[in-house]
A and B are shown apart, each in its own frame.
Chain A
Amino acid sequence: MAEKEYAYFLGCITPNRYPGIEAATKKVFKEFGIETKEMIGASCCPAPGVFGSFDLHTWLPIAARNLAIAEEMDLEIYVTCNGCYGSLQEADHLLKHNERLRKKVNEVLGKIGREYKGKTKVNHSIVILHDVIGLDRIKEAVKKPMDDVNVAVHYGCHFLKPSEVRGHGSPERPYILEDLAHAIGAKTPYYKDKLMCCGAGGGVRSFDAPTSLEWTRQKIVNMIEAGCDCIMHPCAFCHLQLDRGQVEMQNLFGIEPKMPVLFATQLIGLAMGFSEKELGLDIHEVKMPEKLLK
């Protein structure tokens, strides 16, 4: 029997570009007794730095509609993208604390037969791994320890910030991804500008891709210089920028795409004995090295 059930808010990039993230998360969660339910009719979150920059009064009701779908299922949400996390958690926070705003948003939702009630909770999948499943059970499930692997931890932005809303401690000293990497035996070397953004957010990628890739170039070079073997991250949008971005960078800057990019559940899934194919790692732009697959 399932220990706990969640509504999985997929967003855009996970299901439509990197379905391996979706498959890996469902498979790893299932191993730990966590069941996933689909959110029928969910849309784009919509991206907090993009649609939040265009029109906050449209961003909010679309996000509230997504929250209302989970409320109708009577379930809490989990996400695999910092953009989705940022958008849905922020919308939920604003609407829970501002009655006038809630009324205004519900007037819009009323036209489509939905209502935001403030009954769900938005969770990030890596917090479920860390706090609900727990490090001990993850350690016990490891079949292929990552003892000789140096993991470049990349947090992205909207998982940690704004910290007053996210509630995962200081964004200057995060620990959740490091804890998860250590639980599967990996090392997490410090690298220059470890907490820097991937460069994609806020509409910068769509506005001026070469400029956004300069952020990415700096991060990748810093990871290589610190001797990292792969990236572990919690965000589908960062994933797109870091993985697809390395191919784009090859054309722009002549840098070989060689830093593999793994969503947290994909790396943990490998350590648990799932195959490259089961986790959708074979469809990434940057190929997985033998070191991770052995």
Chain B
Amino acid sequence: MGTLLDEIIEYGGEVFGKEHMETVRECVQCGKCTGSCPSGRITAYRTRKMIQMARMNLREVLSMYELWFCTTCFTCYERCPRGVKVTDIIRTMRNIAVSEGHMSFSHKKVATYVFKTGHAVPIGEPQMKLREGVGLDPMAPTTQKFPEQLEQVREIVRTTGFDKKVGFDWETMKLREELEEGK
């Protein structure tokens, strides 16, 4: 079995290209990422540390709460003097974390909104009135309005298996976590 670093390069490489992901090897731990990071001022998220843990094959980085404090602002990505594609490496690490079952309940809920409506932020009755107030149709012509269109998004989710990663039960339209804990 390869190292975590190999896994990150392989996984991210399928989407961003291998060359893009190989930049992780160029990191010299200068810390410009951490110095530029707005999250690092507020939280315990340390970009440099995340990258180094990946390089040292320390898989516990995947279950760290801090991994989820990056807002993907891309400041480190822009400023890295070695051209390391930091934000895409972090996003890939999060993907691997999710594949291994490290996904917060609140994030699973966001995913279920897309499964249910096609929108991460769906519309409700009060917002329909707001739309009418500015002269718009109560519902925009999106997946939430047209069930056959929504079905296409659901089919994508089932095809890629993302529903299983999140633990979504299509019969009850709930997370398995919710069913088990009666949430």
Question: Is B153 close to A, CB under 8 A?
Answer: yes
Question: Is A43 within 8 A of B78, CB to CB?
Answer: no
Most chain B CB inside 10 Å of its own CB: which residue of A12, A109, A196: A12
When chains A and B are docked, how far (Å) is the Cα of A42 from the Cα of B102?
A: 30
- How big is the B interface, by class? 35 or more
Q: Are B127 and A19 in contact (CB under 8 A)?
A: yes
List residues of chain B with CB within 8 A of the CB of A215: 38-39, 42, 71
Closest to A156 in B: B73
Measured between beta carbons, the chain B residues less than 8 angstroms from A113 are 152
**Is A158 an interface residue, CB under 8 A from the partner?**
yes
Give the residue of B87, B104, B122, B146 whose beta carbon is less than 8 angstroms from that of A207: B104
A211 within 8 A of B: yes
Nearest chain A residue, comparing its CB with the CB of B93: A53
Q: Does A234 interact with chain B (Cβ within 8 Å)?
A: no
Nearest CB in chain A: distance from B46 CB, A: 15
A40 touches B38 (CB 8 A): no
Q: Among B12, B68, B156, which residue has its beta carbon within 8 angstroms of that of A58?
A: B156
> For residue B111, which residues in chain A have a CB less than 8 angstroms away from its CB?
51, 54
- Which A residues are CB-close (under 8 A) to B43? 211
Within 8 A of A (CB), among B15-31: 15-17
Q: A55-B162, A206-B110 are in contact. Are A10 and B38 (CB under 8 A)?
A: no
Contacts of B107 in A (CB 8 A): 50, 54, 203, 206-207
Q: Is B34's beta carbon under 8 Å from chain A?
A: no
CB-nearest residue of chain A to B142:
A42
Query: Does A223 interact with chain B (Cβ within 8 Å)?
Result: no
Partner of B156, one of A22, A39, A65, A162: A65
**Does residue B143 face the partner (Cβ distance < 8 Å to A)?**
yes
Is the CB–CB distance between A23 and B120 below 8 Å? no
Find out whether the CB atom of A211 lies under 8 angstroms from the CB atom of B142.
no
Q: In the assembled complex, how far is the CB of residue B161 from the closest CB belonging to chain A, in whole angstroms?
A: 8
The residues of A that contact B141 with a CB separation of less than 8 Å are 38-42
Cβ of B179 < 8 Å from any Cβ of A? no
Instruction: Give the number of A-B contacts (CB < 8 Å).
Output: 220
Q: List the A side residues contacting B48 at CB < 8 Å.
A: none
Taking a contact as CB atoms under 8 Å apart, the answer to whether A43 and B127 are in contact is: no
| Residues in chain A near residue B106, CB distance under 8 A | 206-207
Considering the chains assembled together, what is the distance between the CA atoms of A61 and B92 in angstroms? 17
B residues less than 8 Å from A53 (CB atoms): 68, 72, 91, 94-95, 98
Contact with A along B146-183 (1 / 0, CB 8 A): 10111111011101101001100000000000000000
List of A residues within 8 angstroms of B2 by Cβ: none
A23 to B43, CA, bound (A): 37
Contact B156 A203 (CB under 8 A): no
Shortest CB–CB separation between residue A207 and chain B, in angstroms?
5
Nearest-neighbour CB distance to chain B for A249, whole angstroms, equals 14
Q: Which of A132-173 contact B (CB under 8 A)?
A: 157-158, 161-163, 171-172
Q: With A and B bound together, what is the CA distance between A193 and B37 in angstroms?
A: 12
A208 within 8 A of B: yes
Cα A17 to Cα B134 with chains together (Å): 12
Q: Enumerate 7 A-B pairs (CB-CB under 8 Å) in ascending A order.
A: A19-B131, A50-B107, A54-B165, A55-B98, A58-B157, A101-B15, A278-B135
> Contact residues of A with B, CB < 8 Å?
10, 12-13, 15-17, 19-20, 22-23, 38-44, 46-58, 60-62, 65, 94, 97-98, 101, 108-109, 111-114, 157-158, 161-163, 171-172, 193, 195-197, 199-204, 206-208, 211-212, 214-215, 277-280, 283
